[in-house]
Structure 1
Amino acid sequence: MKKVFLLFFAVISMITFAQNEMTITSGSFDFIKNETEINVQLKFDNTLYQVENLTEEQYLQNRKKDILAKSGKTEADWQKWSEEWGRFKSSEYLKYFMKGANSKSKIVFENERPAKYTLIIDAQWIYAGWHGGIMGQEAKLTSIMKFVETNDPSKVILELKADKILGKPQNKDFVMEYGRIAGAFEATGKRLMGKEYKRALRK
């Protein structure tokens, strides 16, 4: 029984590792060596959700049905949930990303900065995870990240793909979908400032 458990754990770990990757698709971190700040933008132009690859509209329709199907829940509850979803999408996800990036770097990542370079995060796929009392599953985020010249965004200096980055397991809103997704943005920010970035600083 113990051997079966260890084999199961090893397989799960391999799957998680294979998905929880960040790779450079073009360019390098060399440009960042002498920078002190980076502007950050977040896009949700064509984001898909869950394993079914739902559009945001489909995902929200399903969540509305789920919420209203619960005993005692009303349109007011759905409205409150929807407002929080919108707030996190418009501001909190970016804050969590910057929190993760800034915790691992001397460079300041912030939105609306007069920086030479801008990081554009294109959220392509989101798995919201789940929470069931004492147990839960972290969210995952797949994104394309491009460092571009702020004055000419067509000039891409560095492009990376973050594939199904597993979110941090704890924050004050983890019991809600948007809280778990925020954790995935924070984890992505931390992973961005990983080994490739540190190698560039040592050159």
Structure 2
Amino acid sequence: MNAIKVIILICIGAVFEPYGLASERSDFQQQLLVKYDANKDGRLDSIEREKIRYDKLNPKRTERRRPERRQFRYPDPIIAKFDMDEDNKLNEQEFSQARQWVDRRFKEINNEYDLNKDGRLNTIERAAIAKEVESGKFKTMDWLMKYITRPPSRSGGRNRDMREEPREKARLKVFIKSDVNQDGLLSQSELDSARADLKKKDR
């Protein structure tokens, strides 16, 4: 008799089990059923599950995530100067302010060291900047100044540091020798002296 009762209870549980599981389904599972349960039997058969796997592997164009565009990151000294909200990165407004400041400083420095005012930095003028960089004058702009001290290569690129080339090293020595008052700049007389020495070396 007890065995019969147990069997009856098991049968009742088996009948009502799907309803219990259905009530415990998550919202995500319910969404899958709505979308993929084609025969509306309240469960996903093998064909419907295969359709889910296929859709996951082949998302529609509208559902694909676009890769985030990588934004140029200024060196840490620039970040620290303009990072107002202290999140270690520049938002759109901070980035715009940093760019304007860098552009302005770049023009100011070029104007300061372009002694002959021809609109570009020659070897001697770049050497003056190189000397200032080595002395630590441009701490915030150091990364940019090292770029400025690289002259254009014959191919048009900027992949050589003029201070590493023998010919340019010799020119730098001429500049240092001509800078009599050691102020990092060449006066007109010092510039004339440097040019005269360079002409002798180029012969």
The verdict on a shared fold, with TM-score over 0.5 as the criterion, is no
Choose 1 or 2 for highest CA Rg. 2
* TM-score normalized by the length of structure 2: 0.29
Higher relative contact order (CA 8 A, sep 6+): 1
Structure number with the higher strand fraction is 1
Structure number with the higher helix fraction is 2
* TM-score normalized by the length of structure 1: 0.29
